């Protein structure tokens, strides 16, 4: 009965890895997927995660029963604190409902399904460009997706004018997807002053902010620093949605651990919202997995483990900054035509190189370097040993 089924295209990001895996070249390099790699090019399990797992294994009182629909209570509380701040008045006033979800993607999807069911305004504005999965997540949840201007290819910076104009002409109540920090794929974030402008516009038009926080700890070098955009919005007392992921900042990619928080105006509303979130989750996957959330709560609730985590997180972020510097220097040393200073200015895991699809294809064919066709490079996939190869490839792509 499925004889005529059409073959679906590969995912634009995960498909890069599929192509990479098929390439027998010994010099091949995967800069597609946003996963951290060590200087040796290996995946990294944080030491603090190993320690937390050891504690969990040794605790014989732990069982494998189902979690509640909303997940692990400790994990939810600690996740809200991590993004909103330990002294957040919204948390103290019980204005926040947090549910454990399947990493960032699952948190976005549950939030989107809730909105499609309970919110009068079905249009969501996402930045152009944005992480490729956003459009699909929101469309499939039943929302209409529109874009707002974000990146200016000429300045390789934020198009704040375009952003404010587009959100300014959005219909009242529309949902606005914002990257909390380390915008993917551009690596360009608003300054705090620009965030304040965005916040004022969003509130004055009664738009609904939906933050995607997938890189807390990778932008400013501090967890609190990277939560400032979100805290600015929550601080004004208005509603706000936040999807958090622990994939990158704890390296828990495959554990699928994340959280959706919805900040409401009263505690009573928050508790009613939570009751409806349960109705979204129960028929979708019933309840979330226990292991990843237990690791995260063990780390967040213990001062020593928490401190160790912040150091390991900083080390990952710093290595990425070193790679930016090395790649920039290598291109300068080769006299590669063009201004490459955006490599060191951009923030987070990615560099939005400005290379065209044609140049990307050339680099893949001739140099076995794999990246997404929009020219995005995952800096975490680089090492001192592979920077020269990448610089040679970019130089050749630009000059041939």
Q: Cα(229)–Cα(235) distance, rounded to whole angstroms? A: 10
Q: Annotated catalytic, 131?
A: yes
Our finding on whether 214 is near ligand PMP (CB under 6 A) is yes
Site for ligand PMP in 128-147 (CB under 6 A): 131
- What is the nearest approach in angstroms of ligand PMP to the Cβ of residue 381? 13
Candidates 245, 249, 294, 372: give the one binding ligand PMP (CB under 6 A).
245
Tell me how far, at minimum, the Cβ of 26 lies from ligand PMP, in Å.
28
* 244 binds ligand PMP, rule: CB under 6 A: no
Among 247, 327, 355, 390, binds ligand PMP (CB under 6 A): 247
Given 189, 212, 374, 392, which residue is catalytic? 212
Residues of this chain, 27-46, that bind ligand PMP according to CB under 6 A: 34
261 scored as a contact of ligand PMP (CB under 6 A): no
Q: Which of 166, 189, 226, 248 is catalytic?
A: 248
Q: What residues does 351 pair with on adjacent strands?
A: 377
229 binds ligand PMP (CB under 6 A): no
320 forms beta bridges with none
Q: Which is nearer to ligand PMP, 107 or 386 (CB)?
A: 107
Cα angle vertex 116, ends 33, 147, to 5°?
A: 50
CB closer to ligand PMP, 79 vs 103? 103
Q: Which of 104, 111, 217, 288 is the binder for ligand PMP (CB under 6 A)?
A: 104
Residue 348 as a binder of ligand PMP (CB under 6 A): the answer is no
Q: Quick one: 210 or 253, whose CB is closer to ligand PMP?
A: 253
Cα–Cα nearest to 148, from 162, 161, 133: 162
| Nearest alpha-carbon partner for 208 in 245, 165, 178 | 178
Taking the complex as a whole, how short is the minimal distance between the CB of residue 60 and ligand PMP, in angstroms?
A: 31
The set of residues, in sequence order, having a beta carbon less than 8 Å from that of 97 and lying 6+ positions away, is 261, 262, 264, 270, 271, 273, 274, 277
Closest to ligand PMP by CB, 253 vs 370, is: 253
Q: Which of 189, 212, 274, 392 binds ligand PMP (CB under 6 A)?
A: 212
- We find the least distance from the C-beta atom of residue 391 to ligand PMP, in angstroms, to be 25
Q: Does 258 bind ligand PMP (CB under 6 A)?
A: yes
Size of the site for ligand PMP (CB under 6 A): 13
The answer to whether 248 is a known catalytic residue is yes
Contacts (CB under 6 A) with ligand PMP, residues 84-103: 103
Site string for ligand PMP, 285-304 (x = CB under 6 A): --------------------
The neighbour count for residue 103, using CB atoms within 10 Å, is 23
The binder of ligand PMP chosen from 30, 79, 98, 105 (CB under 6 A): 105
Helix H, strand E, coil C: the string for the chain is: CCCCCCCCCCCCCHHHHHHHHHCCCCCCEECCCCCCECCCCCECCCHHHHHHHHHHHHCCCCCCCCCCCCCCHHHHHHHHHHHHCCCCHHHHCCCEEEEEEEHHHHHHHHHHHHHHHHCCCCEEEEEECCCCHHHHHHHHCCCEEEEEECEECCCCEECHHHHHHHHHCCCCCCEEEEECCCCCCCCCCCCHHHHHHHHHHHHHCCCEEEEEECCCCCCCCCCCHHHHHHHHHHHCCCCEEEEEECCCCCCCHHHCEEEEEEECCCHHHHHHHHHHHHHHHHHHHCCCCCHHHHHHHHHHHCHHHHHHHHHHHHHHHHHHHHHHHHHHHHHHHHCCCCCCCHHHHCCCCEEECCCCHHHHHHHHHHHCEECCCCCEEEHHHCCCCCHHHHHHHHHHHHHC
Residues 141-180: x where in contact with ligand PMP by CB under 6 A, - otherwise, as a string: --------------------------------------x-
Could you tell me the smallest distance in angstroms from the CB atom of residue 150 to ligand PMP?
A: 13
The answer to whether residue 111 forms part of the interface with ligand PMP (CB under 6 A) is no
Q: Does 374 bind ligand PMP (CB under 6 A)?
A: no
346 binds ligand PMP (CB under 6 A): no
Q: Which residues bind ligand PMP (CB under 6 A)?
A: 34, 103-105, 131, 179, 184, 212, 214, 245, 247, 253, 258
Catalytic positions, please?
A: 131, 212, 248
């Amino acid at each position: 009965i499925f004889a005529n089924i059409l073959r679906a295209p590969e995912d634009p990001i995960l498909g890069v890895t599929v192509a990479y895996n098929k390439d027998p070249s010994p010099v091949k390099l995967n800069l597609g997927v946003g996963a951290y790699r060590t200087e040796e090019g290996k995946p990294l399990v944080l030491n603090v995660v190993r320690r937390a797992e050891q504690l969990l294994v040794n605790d014989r009182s732990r069982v494998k029963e189902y979690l509640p629909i909303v997940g692990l209570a400790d994990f939810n509380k600690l996740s809200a604190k991590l993004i909103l701040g330990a002294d957040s008045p919204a948390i103290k006033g019980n204005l926040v409902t947090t549910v454990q979800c399947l990493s960032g993607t699952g948190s976005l999807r549950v939030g989107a399904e809730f909105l499609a069911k309970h919110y009068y305004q079905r249009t969501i504005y996402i930045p152009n460009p944005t992480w490729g999965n956003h459009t699909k997540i929101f469309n499939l949840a039943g929302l209409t997706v529109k874009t707002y201007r974000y990146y200016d290819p000429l300045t390789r910076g934020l198009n704040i004018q375009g952003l404010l104009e587009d959100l300014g002409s959005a219909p009242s109540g529309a949902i606005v997807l914002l990257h909390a920090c380390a915008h993917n794929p551009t690596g360009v974030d608003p300054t705090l002053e620009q965030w304040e402008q965005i916040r004022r516009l969003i509130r004055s038009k009664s738009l609904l902010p939906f933050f995607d926080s997938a890189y807390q700890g990778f932008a400013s070098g501090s967890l609190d620093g990277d939560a400032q955009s979100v805290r600015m919005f929550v601080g004004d007392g208005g509603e706000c949605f936040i999807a958090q992921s622990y994939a990158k900042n704890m390296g828990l990619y495959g554990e699928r651990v994340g959280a959706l928080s919805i900040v409401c105006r009263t505690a009573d509303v928050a508790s009613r919202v939570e009751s409806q979130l349960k109705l979204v989750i129960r028929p979708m996957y019933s309840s979330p997995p226990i292991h990843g959330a237990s690791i995260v709560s063990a780390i967040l609730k213990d001062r020593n483990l928490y401190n160790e985590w912040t150091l390991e997180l900083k080390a990952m972020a710093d290595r990425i900054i070193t790679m930016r510097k090395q790649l920039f220097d290598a291109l300068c040393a080769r006299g590669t035509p063009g201004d490459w200073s955006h490599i060191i200015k951009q923030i987070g895991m990615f560099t939005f190189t400005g290379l065209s699809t044609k140049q990307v294809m050339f680099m893949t064919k001739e140099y076995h370097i794999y990246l997404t066709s929009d020219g995005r490079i995952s800096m975490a996939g680089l090492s001192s040993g592979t920077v020269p190869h990448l610089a040679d490839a970019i130089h050749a792509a630009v000059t041939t």
